[in-house]
């Protein structure tokens, strides 16, 4: 029995003294994108490169300044338009109505955006049963109104 114990002990010692597989650490430029496990069980991953994104935006300063100095101007709607979002009124025809240009929404955070209806115009309309006029706004294109001032 001592010989069998000795042989099993030698087998265990042989397993313990066998070389373990080790991971070779590569420089980050050559590292693999998969997770590797070292002999000690520690895991390491390839470091991700930071993403750098630069966007070049052309600003049309002529159109921005022309719309900015006209904020607050009186305008008249020239296109045949109807809106359905006025409270207590089922339908309002804006053709010929006068309003005030309140906002140009083609710029957002100093960047030009492609707004389909970039001008916000505020209107006042008299409604039956109310002592004061109802205020509402509508978004228009530049070819749907004319400046009165």
Residue 93 tokens read as 């025809």
Residue with tokens 């265990």: 12
Write out the residue range of the structural domain in which residue 85 sits.
Answer: 61-147
- Examine residue 54 and state whether it is found in any structural domain, yes or no: no
116 found inside a domain = yes
- CATH number of residue 128's parent domain: 2.30.30.50
Name residues of the chain where pLDDT drops below 50: 64
pLDDT for 104: 87
Whether 124 contacts 133, CB under 8 Å: yes
Contacting residues for 37 by C-beta, under 8 A, at least 6 apart: 23, 43
Residues 1-36: pLDDT tens digits?
Answer: 555 555 555 555 555 555 555 555 656 665 555 555
Say if 78 falls within a structural domain: yes
Separation between Cα atoms, residue 115 and residue 106, nearest integer Å: 5
Query: Is the residue at 142 inside a domain?
Result: yes
Q: How many domains are there within the chain?
A: 1
Does some domain include residue 8?
A: no
pTM as predicted: 0.53
């Amino acid at each position: 029995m001592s010989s069998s114990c000795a042989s099993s002990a030698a087998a265990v010692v042989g397993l313990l003294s066998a070389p373990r597989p080790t991971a070779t650490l590569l420089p980050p430029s050559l590292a693999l994108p998969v997770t590797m496990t070292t002999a000690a069980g520690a895991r390491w991953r390839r470091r991700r490169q930071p993403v750098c994104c630069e966007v070049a935006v052309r600003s049309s300063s002529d159109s921005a300044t022309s719309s900015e100095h006209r904020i607050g101007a009186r305008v008249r709607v020239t296109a045949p338009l109807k809106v359905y979002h006025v409270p207590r009124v089922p339908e309002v025809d804006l053709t010929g109505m006068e309003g005030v240009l309140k906002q140009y929404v083609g710029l957002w955070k100093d960047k030009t955006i492609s707004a389909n209806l970039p001008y916000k115009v505020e209107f006042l309309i008299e409604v039956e049963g109310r002592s004061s006029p109802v205020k509402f706004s509508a978004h228009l294109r530049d070819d749907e109104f004319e400046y009165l001032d």
